[in-house]
Amino acid sequence: MADKTNQKGFRPWTLFLVCGLTCLLFAQIPAGKAEGGDSPQAVFKAAQAAGAKKDFGALAGLVAPTEHAMLAFSTDMAVGMLVEFYEGEKAAELKKKYEQIQKKYEVKIKNENEDEKLHITNETPQEVIDEHIRKRAKKFYGHVDAVKYVPDLMGIIINMPEMAEQSFFPQEELSDLKIEGDSATGKAGEKSISFIREGDRWYLTADVIN
């Protein structure tokens, strides 16, 4: 890693943010298919294996289908910011690859119209903010196949030296698992992990990346 005094890599805070957004993300599942698991424990175990292998296609396939727009949105924000602030020799190459992927998946982010904006105050409930973000994610990423999009995006940066030690999913044991209906929560180390059941399959939720 490097800051302005070392133009060979990322600014430390940028790498920290990107890793924070992506380290809880994402086995080889055929591209475009959401796989899930028979239980939260099975999903967690598969995600650990996938994260250790940096297999983003499988990790994305373990996220619930209804969460894919948010998954695509969050991954794009993380990788996009990393590419934007990268200062190494391959900065132009990274940006070109990023733009090519955006074009391939027809991702076009537009500024909100005045009537679409959420004017946040100290009294704005977090639930309202989250719902607004989800609506924007669905608007701009609802057409995107996240199981293909996420690996393509991560492929831009995965071979960077700064990413060499990242496992991209907690490797600690799953503890404090609580299942309530179609939702479940647990912990891996200090990280909270959420699951959701859709149909007869369990999946990770997109907020696992927060």
Task: For residues 35 and 43, give the distance between their C-alpha atoms in angstroms, rounded to a whole number.
Answer: 9
pLDDT at 18: 46
112: left (phi over 0), alpha (psi -120 to 50) or beta: beta
What are the residues whose beta carbons fall under 8 Å from the beta carbon of 173, sequence distance 6 or more?
188
Token pair of 128 as six digits: 């309202």
pLDDT at 33: 56
Bridge partner residues of 63 (DSSP): 204
Task: For residues 39 and 132, give the distance between their C-alpha atoms in angstroms, rounded to a whole number.
Answer: 30
pLDDT at 4: 37
Task: For residues 166 and 185, give the distance between their C-alpha atoms in angstroms, rounded to a whole number.
Answer: 23
Please report the DSSP string for the chain in residue order: ---TT-TTS--HHHHHHHHHHHTT----PPTT----BSSHHHHHHHHHHHHHHT-HHHHHHTB-GGGHHHHHHHHHHHHHHHHHH--STTHHHHHHHHHHHHHHTT----PPPGGG-----TT--HHHHHHHHHHHHHHHHTTS-HHHHHHHHHHHHTTSGGGTT--SS--SPEEEEEEETTEEEEEETTEEEEEEEETTEEEE-GGGG-
pLDDT at 118: 84
Token pair of 180 as six digits: 């309530």
Q: Which parts of the chain sit beneath pLDDT 50?
A: 1-8, 10-32, 209-210
pLDDT at 63: 96
* Domain segments of the chain as ranges: 12-111+121-209
pLDDT at 61: 93
pLDDT at 20: 47
Sign of the CA dihedral running 121, 125, 129, 135:
negative
